[in-house]
Amino acid sequence: MGLPAATELSPQTIKKHFTGTARAEKFMVEMECERRGWKPQNGDVADALAVLSTAANMPQSDELKLIIKVSTS
């Protein structure tokens, strides 16, 4: 188990998970962050939050669970 290889998480997969559409524009990712109560400084931070959200909802190794728990505490 654990986080799949990065090649398994295409941008379309991340956008689909995070916004509901695989063809989401960057502003849509930013809007979804704000809807969730997050305030990203820019589009790149919003993209990173989308990746983290996608990864956090996948089967995880014990190490990843610890990293996510610590980062959200």
Between 5 and 51, the higher pLDDT residue: 51
For residue 72, give the nearest of 37, 27, 26, 35 by alpha carbon.
37
d(CA 32, CA 43): 11
CB 1 within 8 A of CB 59: yes
**Residue that wins the pLDDT comparison between 2 and 36:** 36
Q: Please, where are the H alpha helices in the chain? A: 11-19, 26-35, 43-56, 62-72
Residue 62 has pLDDT above 90, yes or no: no
pTM: predicted TM-score of the whole model, two decimal places: 0.68
